Amino acid sequence: MRISRVDSFIVRLGYKPIYQRQTSKEGEFNAARSRQPTLDSLILRLETDTGLVGWGEAFGHACNPATMALLSERLAPFLKGEQCDDISALMEKAHYAFHSYGRGGTMMYALSALDIALWDLRAKAHQQPLWQLLGGTRSQIELYPSLGSFDGCLDKLIPYVQNLIKQGYRHIKLHERSLQATLEVSRIMPEDGVLMLDTNCAWTEDEAARILPQLRDAGVAFVEEPTFPPEALTRLRRLRQQTGMPLAAGENMNNSEEFRQCIERGLVDVMQPSVAKIGGISAVLEIIAAHHAHPHGFLLPHCFYYGPGLLATAHLLSVMPKTVPLEVPWLEFEQTLHPFMVWRPQCDLPLTPGLGFDPDPQILERYTVARG
């Protein structure tokens, strides 16, 4: 089975803003702080000489044009005609060919899309859903809303969270910088609820040292990347030792080797591999194996995207060491690209061969803003 065609698409879905964001100049360049009510997905499509089609997704949001340039101008010519039955062999060849581009960032995002698409092809060739091919045992998963920031506006945030609780969601992640906002939400969480916080690297070390004990006492499960830069893992370990607050990181790690070192050294409590950033499904499987060998903390994948990367993450939950919920970008999208985007507290993993990514062709065409 050889790759005969490589296509990439930037899909831009609009969503209904639930809160008018405040932002600064950097917000125009950072999707996490952007005022524009759209979210982009960079999707890769591989076609083989046997007629099978595999789908992948590269992380990017605001940097998607740079990643797509690498996909279309470098990776696509490299891939055409390549044998793709042996994922490990082709990925090693690709990683080596492009290692001088950097072992993280946009090239790794592009390689992540490739790896996801190759696994989709393999599962389809074996006529199995990916989670079964991987040896997974859990066919149903729980979803958790990963909310956009309300900039601490309690009049909007509290009713919104209350409505999610009424719908049956028990795990909720906030993206707030305000201590008071998180404390107020913690007070309305149900007894069996789990509240998580991602500050997007908002605080200084001194601020974090002051704030984290208060969040710990309020029952917040963990705080993700409280300080900048996110790779300052020894600082996170120091803050955890000082405050007793469980801390999370990994969304911004570059590759599985960095995760392995983090796991072996026990630097953080919650490790968050992002399948569309870290090297794809193969990289996450390597991280799971490293965690089996050194079971410090637990794995909770990062997933703030809605294409094949979302489905790849869902399938991988079936083989995680512990049962954990799936993070989903909690946005009220104008359209759904595929059926799995209909959020609900519990959902079944796809039973169709491969990822189960079956995009609506009309939605894909209508919302594609660039092609590679």
- CATH number, residue 284: 3.20.20.120
Counts of helices then strands in the chain (DSSP H, E): 13, 14
Whether residues 85 and 120 share a domain: the answer is: yes
Whether residues 159 and 280 share a domain: the answer is: yes
Task: Report yes or no on 337 lying in a domain.
Answer: yes
Average pLDDT over residues 287-312: 95
Task: Report yes or no on 345 lying in a domain.
Answer: yes
**108 phi and psi angles, rounded to 5 deg:** -65, -35
Assess whether pLDDT exceeds 80 at residue 20.
no
pLDDT band with cut points at 50, 70 and 90 for residue 61: confident
Of the three residues 82, 101, 127, the one that is the final residue of a domain is: 127
Rounded to whole angstroms, the Cα distance separating 139 from 297 reads 24
Counting Cα atoms < 13 Å in the Cβ hemisphere of 154 gives 11
- Tally of domains within the chain: 2
Whether residues 13 and 123 share a domain: the answer is: yes
Which is more confident, 19 or 14? 14
Whether residues 181 and 60 share a domain: the answer is: no
Judged by DSSP in three states, 170 sits in coil
Whether residues 94 and 237 share a domain: the answer is: no
Output the pLDDT for position 26. Answer: 63
Assess whether pLDDT exceeds 90 at residue 109.
yes
Residues 6+ apart with CB under 8 A from 84: 1, 2, 3, 46, 48, 90, 118, 121
Rounded to whole angstroms, the Cα distance separating 227 from 283 reads 26
Of the three residues 127, 146, 177, the one that is the final residue of a domain is: 127
Of the three residues 77, 99, 127, the one that is the final residue of a domain is: 127
Whether residues 312 and 250 share a domain: the answer is: yes
Whether residues 140 and 205 share a domain: the answer is: yes
Output the pLDDT for position 363. Answer: 97
Whether residues 41 and 148 share a domain: the answer is: no
CATH number at residue 65: 3.30.390.10
Whether residues 271 and 190 share a domain: the answer is: yes
Rounded to whole angstroms, the Cα distance separating 357 from 359 reads 6
* Helix segments in the chain, DSSP class H: 64-70, 76-79, 87-97, 106-125, 130-133, 154-167, 179-188, 205-217, 233-243, 256-265, 280-293, 308-317, 361-367
Output the pLDDT for position 60. Answer: 85
- Cβ atoms of residues 83 and 250 within 8 Å: no
Containing structural domain, residue 115: 3-127
pLDDT band with cut points at 50, 70 and 90 for residue 36: confident
Task: Report yes or no on 368 lying in a domain.
Answer: no
Task: Report yes or no on 15 lying in a domain.
Answer: yes
Task: Report yes or no on 371 lying in a domain.
Answer: no
Whether residues 174 and 287 share a domain: the answer is: yes
How high does pLDDT run on average in the chain? 94
* CA nearest to 9, candidates 359, 318, 256: 359
Rounded to whole angstroms, the Cα distance separating 303 from 223 reads 16
